[in-house]
Amino acid sequence: MISDAQAPLIETEKLSQLRTQLQGRLDTGPVLRKLYSTDASEYQELPLAVAFPETEADIATLIRFAGENGLSLIPRAAGTSLAGQVVGNGIVVDAGKHFGQILSLDADKGIVRVQPGVVRNELNHYLLPHGLLFGPETSTANRAMIGGMVGNNSCGSNSLMYASTREHLISTRGFLSDGSEVTFKALTPDEFTAKCEGETLEAAIYRKCRELLGDAANRALITEKFPKRSIPRRNTGYALDLLMDAEVFDPASDKPFNLCKLIAGSEGTLFFGVEFELLCDPLPPKHSALLCAHFENVDQALRSVLPALAYKPSGVELLDRYILEATKRNREQLKNRFFVEGDPGAILVVDIRRDDAEEVDAVIAKVAADIQAAGYGYAFPVLKGEDEAKVWELRRAGQGLVSNIPGDAKPREVCEDTAVDVAELADYIAEFDTMMREKHGKDCVYYAHAGSGELHTRPLFNLKTEEGLKTFRGVAEDVAALVKKYNGSLSGEHGDGRLRGEFIPFMVGEECFALMRAVKEVFDPKHLFNPGKIIDCAPMDTSLRYGPDKPNPEYPTIFDFSDSKGVLRAAENCNGSGDCRKGHLAGGTMCPSYMASRNEKETTRARANILRHALTNPKDPKNPFNNDEIKEVLDLCLSCKGCKSECPSNVDIAKLKAEFLQHYYDANGVPLRSRMIANFALSSRMVSTIPWFWNALFGTEWSRRILNRMVGFHPDRTIPMLHSTTVAKWHRKKEAAPAQRKVYLFCDEFTNYNDVPLGQKTIGLLERLGYEVIIPEHLESARTWLSKGLIRKAKEIANENVRRLAPLISEEAPLVGIEPSAILGFRDEYIDLAEGELKEQARDLSKHCLMLDEFIIREFDAGHIRSDQFEAREQLIKLHGHCFQKSLASVVPTVRALQIPEGYKVHMIPSGCCGMAGSFGYEKEHYELSMKVGELVLFPTVRQQPADVIIAAPGTSCRHQIHDGTGRTAKHPAEILFEALKQ
């Protein structure tokens, strides 16, 4: 393959010519190459280029080009591989960008045809109305693409019911290494013989299969050396053991010959698939329940697997103490661990599904009784309905959760995919655990598919040290030997890739490996397709992201990054799992710009990656943030905070972006528009004295469009009007209402100047509910300064607000906010900006800073607010929650508060970010993306609502976006409750 020294020559002479031959895009710039140099594994290697083919002709062209120039192609879909399957130095071919169509469905036969970029869960969304689903469910199912699932032969937590992708692949069409098109499907003996005739590459492949597998001695060797047939999850090398079962080689067999058995799990090393025909499954039984059996340790849990399997569960999954502990550190998953009793060493989740609800209950009871009879388990909670989804969400988050450990020692993928016969699993893990503790001094994380004989086991390694790297390899070698002792599979579902490929000859023996090599040679004699995977693999401890020979600098910052042990490690917390690549149908907020664009460059992962690259190899050592590559990748981050809660590793890109911008401005100056937006409070205070002038300018379309262009806003974006007074002035002049209880109101700058009627109604609501409303002396919220990255000024404001408010605010007299982005700053950025003794005060203050709906529900639960204070009538409300609210707090209090009036019903709009994100949606270069984000879910849902349905949105930006995108007026919950008060 090409060397680094040759790359510039090929770039100048050939790649520019290749661009002209493609309908899609070929990118050779440094940014995308860096972003595509990693996946979800430990590996990193800079590719020569990244291609985004739009047509099948593009793929054929890429194959021919690679063959003519001695290059390689690395097929890539979502890039969630854990073993480095899509990392290489050739041309990465992103088949997920444009090849994402569902081509056809035969519902009667249960067969669907799809392209490689179709997301697994989105396929099931399409199949659901037809009573079908594609069963294999990886933990990455909301972003994993079918092409990657075929390449890795993915399965998942429900493989006891649905097996793996291989069992669902009926046929596949694509291109061989000579550029010829081919379809692989089931063949009768006569059809197989016919395929062997001719001089094509396809014919040569079939002849080689006949030569290798028609030999009885080879079949006997494969039977002896390959992993046990009793292990359903076995992805070691090429699946010759399954291919040889066909009737063309064994007359006693009734199985047709189908090269799909080989293609599934081949990791893109043999063939470039563009179309996959999949067998669908019927929907599962409609009644289900989860038995979440609690154990003192992992061994007890594993010895309870066989009793559970006797009742034919859909899945048996294990969560160990480390996973459960990690859920306490994650805002999102903390809510999902409600069922955990005490401090278990492990929980075994047994999924029982039946057509009859009573049968589900009876089976659950029998499973629990059998486990208890064996002397295991101390708690056996049973979960049903929506609670089941919470358990599975917690389980799926395990990979990212266990990586979210401060410091350089992280749970690493090295031995996390081994599979043995389920009857031997407990003994294997006991031996594994003893070896890890006594020889290597490692404690392990255990989770995943106990019912299939596979556990994901992740020891902690510091790959930045020589000792850590040495142990990393030593563990890999010892685990391979232990797995071979049990005649197991080194890979159960995640594939060999760069991580395990080196050990395939050891696992199956040199003779069997020679058969695999012969397969690769006939399919791909020039090693064009994903070289270095399965065959001719480099040592597993090379081309790593981290190593003792790589720089590990640290830099002073304005935000406090001590929780992650520095800004670099804050970026390194991203493990590449790609949770940020989920689409809008998956729900949640992260990541709105990716949901709208479907570009890897717009993911949270990409932003963390580019920061990691730039900070470890700074172009400007004095200011590593002075880097236009970082600016380019962070540009479309809406700072929605979705990643802070939804990313399993809690990578807070909004915080990292703000830190970056301040240092970038230090080197390059602050743009006028950014300075203007940051000074919103000051400019609003000035023009509030002449509101009629402001309203005349921005309330007239032609003048607004001109002025918008002048300041860099999009001409179509409307501008909020001003009022004849401000909330603060109005409140000072009005007569205070007598009350027994008091509450402090944070009069944020957006409400004070633009949403004056809302502020007035909020105060009126609280007073009529029996509260004295006090607006304390405070500065603006600093939200505009934070949003534009001017965090030195934000730090001054934050510290002064803490200094002023901390002595006043308490549990009995909390600080209540109207605008979520303003009040929630006290619970987020203020803590990381506070200095010295103010930091502890900021932490204490944050506990008593509440959104209005949080306060109302607190008081309602305490009996201080009653439903009979409101009119009773039927009213439907559609609620869109603010991004910060979803990330840093909860939408539940808003729903509950709006349902205090009798007859009021609230339906959550399943939207993520509205797309406005403060000033982001105003800016001319961001307007189009802003509206695309709104069109994903929010705008269509709002447009569908009858006029008598109230649209609710706590965020001022959200209400503005709804107005500009749909013409509807959305109300703050305070307005809705005020208007519902009894007169």
Dump the DSSP string for 370-393.
Answer: HHHHTT--SB--EE-THHHHHHHH
Dump the DSSP string for 489-558.
Answer: BS-SSS--HHHHGGGHHHHH-HHHHHHHHHHHHHH-TT--BSTTSSSSPPPTTSSBS--TTS-------S
Distance CA 753, CA 761 (A): 14
Q: Is pLDDT above 90 for 738? A: no
Closest C-alpha among 714, 802, 726 to residue 760:
726
- pLDDT on residue 9: 54
Establish whether the linkage from the previous residue to 591 is cis, with ω within 30° of 0. Answer: yes
- pLDDT on residue 410: 86
Q: Is pLDDT above 80 for 925? A: yes
Q: Which amino acid is at 921?
A: G
Element (H, E) at 73: strand 73-76
Which region holds residue 534: left if phi is over 0, alpha if psi is between -120 and 50, else beta?
A: left
Contacts of 264 (CB under 8 A, 6+ apart): 150, 151, 153, 164, 165, 166, 169, 239
What's the rounded mean pLDDT across residues 57-79? Answer: 97
- pLDDT on residue 445: 82
Strands (E) across 285-391 are located at: 287-295, 315-320, 346-354, 382-383
What are 233-291's pLDDT values in tens digits?
Answer: 899 999 999 999 999 998 889 999 999 999 999 999 999 999 999 999 999 999 999 99
Q: Which amino acid is at 518?
A: A
**Crossing angle of helices 653-668 and 791-805, rounded to 10°:** 120
- pLDDT on residue 11: 62
Distance CA 805, CA 923 (A): 34
**In this structure, are residues 579 and 591 in contact, taking their beta carbons and an 8 Å threshold?**
no
Which residues pair with residue 346 across a beta bridge?
295, 320
φ and ψ at residue 175, rounded to 5 degrees = -125, 140
What are 535-547's pLDDT values in tens digits?
Answer: 999 999 999 999 9
Distance CA 714, CA 928 (A): 9
Report the SS3 class of residue 125. helix
Q: Is pLDDT above 90 for 326? A: no
Binned at pLDDT 50, 70 and 90, residue 6 comes out as very low
Q: Which amino acid is at 528?
A: L
Distance CA 274, CA 608 (A): 31
**In this structure, are residues 142 and 121 in contact, taking their beta carbons and an 8 Å threshold?**
yes
- pLDDT on residue 131: 97
- pLDDT on residue 373: 96
What's the rounded mean pLDDT across residues 894-915? Answer: 98
- pLDDT on residue 737: 76
22-37 as b/e, with b when 16 or more CB fall inside 10 Å? Answer: bebbbbbeebbbbbbb
Q: Is pLDDT above 90 for 789? A: yes
- pLDDT on residue 349: 96
**In this structure, are residues 290 and 388 in contact, taking their beta carbons and an 8 Å threshold?**
yes
User: How do strand 25-27 and strand 49-52 relate by DSSP bridges?
Assistant: antiparallel
Closest C-alpha among 863, 866, 793, 783 to residue 828:
783
- The DSSP code for 781 is -
Binned at pLDDT 50, 70 and 90, residue 460 comes out as confident
What's the rounded mean pLDDT across residues 353-368? Answer: 97
Distance CA 584, CA 602 (A): 14
User: How do strand 875-879 and strand 904-908 relate by DSSP bridges?
Assistant: parallel
Q: Write 668-672 long-range contacts (CB < 8 A, 24+).
A: 668/626, 670/790
What are 480-524's pLDDT values in tens digits?
Answer: 999 999 999 999 999 999 999 999 999 999 999 999 999 999 999
**In this structure, are residues 493 and 235 in contact, taking their beta carbons and an 8 Å threshold?**
yes
Report the SS3 class of residue 70. coil
Residue with tokens 């989920």: 582
Q: How big is the chain by its Cα radius of gyration, in Å?
A: 30
- The DSSP code for 875 is E
Closest C-alpha among 909, 898, 918, 924 to residue 978:
898
**Structure token pair of residue 408:** 């350089």
Torsion of CA 665, 668, 669, 672, to 10 degrees: -90
What's the rounded mean pLDDT across residues 9-37? Answer: 90
Which residues pair with residue 273 across a beta bridge?
174
Contacts of 414 (CB under 8 A, 6+ apart): 42, 458, 459, 461, 472, 475, 476, 479, 499, 540
What's the rounded mean pLDDT across residues 63-89? Answer: 96
Q: Is pLDDT above 60 for 923? A: yes
Which residues pair with residue 272 across a beta bridge?
175
Which residues pair with residue 489 across a beta bridge?
419
Which residues pair with residue 171 across a beta bridge?
277
Binned at pLDDT 50, 70 and 90, residue 4 comes out as very low
Q: Is pLDDT above 50 for 5? A: no
Distance CA 584, CA 711 (A): 32
**In this structure, are residues 134 and 114 in contact, taking their beta carbons and an 8 Å threshold?**
no
Q: What angle do CA 169, 170, 175 make, to 5 degrees?
A: 80
What's the rounded mean pLDDT across residues 632-651? Answer: 94
What are 559-607's pLDDT values in tens digits?
Answer: 999 999 999 999 999 989 999 999 999 999 999 999 999 999 999 999 9
What are 408-454's pLDDT values in tens digits?
Answer: 988 888 898 999 999 999 999 999 999 999 999 998 888 889 999 99
Looking at per-residue pLDDT, the higher value among 915 and 404 belongs to 915
What are 105-162's pLDDT values in tens digits?
Answer: 999 999 999 999 999 999 999 999 999 999 999 989 999 999 999 999 999 888 999 9
Q: What angle do CA 776, 782, 787 make, to 5 degrees?
A: 155
User: How do strand 132-133 and strand 169-175 relate by DSSP bridges?
Assistant: unpaired
Residue with tokens 């609003």: 684
Binned at pLDDT 50, 70 and 90, residue 8 comes out as low
Torsion of CA 935, 941, 943, 947, to 10 degrees: -150
Binned at pLDDT 50, 70 and 90, residue 792 comes out as very high
Distance CA 768, CA 870 (A): 11
User: How do strand 132-133 and strand 49-52 relate by DSSP bridges?
Assistant: unpaired
What is each CA distance from 354 to 50, 286, 380, 388, 963, in whole angstroms?
47, 7, 19, 15, 47
pTM of the model: 0.94
Distance CA 948, CA 528 (A): 62
Burial class (CB in 10 A: 0-12, 13-18, 19+), 394: buried
What are 793-834's pLDDT values in tens digits?
Answer: 999 999 999 999 999 999 999 999 999 999 999 999 999 999
Distance CA 442, CA 438 (A): 8
Please provide the average confidence, as pLDDT, over all residues in the chain: 95
What are 942-964's pLDDT values in tens digits?
Answer: 999 999 999 999 999 999 999 99
- pLDDT on residue 165: 97
